[in-house]
Structure 1
């Protein structure tokens, strides 16, 4: 297989939001990468800014949405793909998308604290409300503390462990 793998260093252009599509979560992030170089006068200068769309799926999407905020320095690696679609007005659009295999906050630009997510038991399906829509995984509609204590086995619960 002849995949094109890329690594991009830049800044998050947005805070990624978690979405559900075809029964699996995904998150999208825009990354701006601006090359810095020394010009002919010996001064630092900025080159043009390149924008990349980054997409992650499943657990990586949840972790991305919980970890990265607009303006954070990031390093992304993944498979480069060509995405085509039509706008609501029927106009064709296209974009180069990085299907991320790795996204991290760039520790060379600041302090990073890592917390590992530990899964207990079989993965639980994404919770849905009465209309079949996904429930906010970040706790806006999360069960209260008493309901969580009533879960005897703890199956499907996640625990943050500082590594």
Structure 2
């Protein structure tokens, strides 16, 4: 098994699923990432090869991603790429998996609303005084760090 850390920009190509493995939740979906290049002769952008892989989000990331992503969404993922080898019907098969450690929407392709997550019930509310607005007012829904939603 070979591993490397990488960041990939792609598209969710399957309906995401969530399942429990022991005490952990894992959120899984397939991703396609296309390479694009400028053909110097024609001056047009062309699509090169496509990388397909399974993305697995474990634990808290899996819980937060569950119900948020849909097939067709543009995403940016960071994590460990692994090549899994197994035998099927006497043939050695390989597939590519990313164990995702960070996941976000591709804002060049999507409009999103962001809300900060609370770490636990007793934690100080993060979206309050001085963190969001220089004048000390709390952010309203749809605002991020002092930037008003369109």
Q: Is the TM value for this pair above 0.5?
A: yes
1:61 corresponds to which residue? 62
TM-aligned CA deviation for residue 78 of structure 1: 0.5
Is the contact made by 1:8 and 1:77 (CA closer than 8 Å) also made in structure 2?
yes
SS of 2:65 mapped into structure 1: helix
TM-aligned CA deviation for residue 85 of structure 1: 3.8
Alpha-carbon distance in structure 2 between the residues aligned to 1:62 and 1:86: 31
The 3 A distance-change label for structure 1 pair 90 and 19 is farther
RMSD of aligned alpha carbons: 2.4
1:47 corresponds to which residue? 48
Alpha-carbon distance in structure 1 between the residues aligned to 2:60 and 2:26: 9
TM-score with structure 2 setting the length: 0.70
TM-aligned CA deviation for residue 52 of structure 1: 1.7
Alpha-carbon distance in structure 1 between the residues aligned to 2:103 and 2:43: 33
The 3 A distance-change label for structure 1 pair 20 and 91 is farther
1:82-120 per-residue CA deviation (whole Å, 9 max, x = no partner) reads 223455x67643212111110111112221111233232
Is the contact made by 1:16 and 1:64 (CA closer than 8 Å) also made in structure 2?
no
1:95 corresponds to which residue? 95
2:9 corresponds to which residue? 9
Question: What is the aligned length?
Answer: 122
2:71 corresponds to which residue? 70
Alpha-carbon distance in structure 2 between the residues aligned to 1:31 and 1:6: 14
Unaligned runs of 5+ in 2: 123-140, 145-150
* 1:81 maps onto 2:82 in alignment: yes
TM-aligned CA deviation for residue 22 of structure 1: 2.2
Is the contact made by 1:15 and 1:65 (CA closer than 8 Å) also made in structure 2?
no
* Structure with more of its chain in helix, by fraction: 1
SS of 2:111 mapped into structure 1: coil
TM-aligned CA deviation for residue 46 of structure 1: 1.0
Alpha-carbon distance in structure 2 between the residues aligned to 1:38 and 1:91: 39
SS of 2:117 mapped into structure 1: strand
1:19 corresponds to which residue? 19
